[in-house]
Amino acid sequence: NAGVTQTPKFQVLKTGQSMTLQCAQDMNHEYMSWYRQDPGMGLRLIHYSVGAGITDQGEVPNGYNVSRSTTEDFPLRLLSAAPSQTSVYFCASSYSNSGGDEQFFGPGTRLTVL
Amino acid sequence: KNQVEQSPQSLIILEGKNCTLQCNYTVSPFSNLRWYKQDTGRGPVSLTIMTFSENTKSNGRYTATLDADTKQSSLHITASQLSDSASYICVVIRTGGGNKLTFGTGTQLKVEL
């Protein structure tokens, strides 16, 4: 049982490049989400999904796209990278979005945009 | 506005000593509150969860308290160990739809010999 996995662990992009951050979970969780963590700020929600085929925007969605074709996978796409997107990105999953379920976090992807 | 404030921002203590971290929130309507531990370079891991009716909950050397009337929570660490060095994040969950979680900025704890 691997839990939540993320790839890559580190990435450097040039401004304007695009890329996809991968996230997968093997716990059969319905709820998955993406956060970014910046110094001096709490984790901020980018996008989330309550099940396969359903996604919604979080607090800071601009510049990011998501899709959820399967229960297991929830990739995050950066369309045209900007220096403001330099951050650590965490994927998380939980059984539901009820709030009472523990969120399990992946190890994170550290992204630098030059 | 839903907010979670944590104090202190950082803390250094000697191994074996106790410490208490604070969390004040304005999230409404309140559902529950979690404390997470985040080791450097890792994702957060849940330590405790507290609902509206719970005042105290322990997990080994970690004890969380909640005062829902004053909207305050604390995390007490007893007999600290070097492995307790981490960031401790308070997360308040509200009821209702949409994004329900509000994260604090964390307290960075360093335990030294």
CA distances from A19 to A16, B3, B62, B85, B93 (A): 10, 32, 40, 34, 31
Q: Which of A7, A34, A43 is the best substitution to test chain B (most B C-beta atoms within 10 A)?
A: A43
Nearest residue to B50 via CA among B69, B31, B27? B31
Chain-chain contact of B99 with A58 (C-beta, under 8 angstroms): yes
Q: Is B42 on the interface with A (CB under 8 A)?
A: yes
Nearest residue to A20 via CA among A61, A76, A63, A89? A76
Q: Is B78 on the interface with A (CB under 8 A)?
A: no
What is the enclosing helix (H) or strand (E) of B91? strand B86-94
Nearest Cβ partner for A42 among B41, B93, B103: B103
Residues in chain B, pLDDT under 70: 97-98
Q: Helix, strand or coil for residue A85? A: helix
Using an 8 Å CB-CB cutoff, list chain A residues near B89: 42-43
pLDDT value for B28? 87
With a cut of 80, say whether residue A24 has pLDDT above it: yes
With a cut of 90, say whether residue A49 has pLDDT above it: yes
Give percent of chain A above pLDDT 90.
Answer: 89
Query: Which pLDDT tens digit goes with each residue over A79-96?
Result: 999 999 999 999 999 998
pLDDT value for A96? 86
With a cut of 90, say whether residue A1 has pLDDT above it: no
pLDDT value for A63? 96
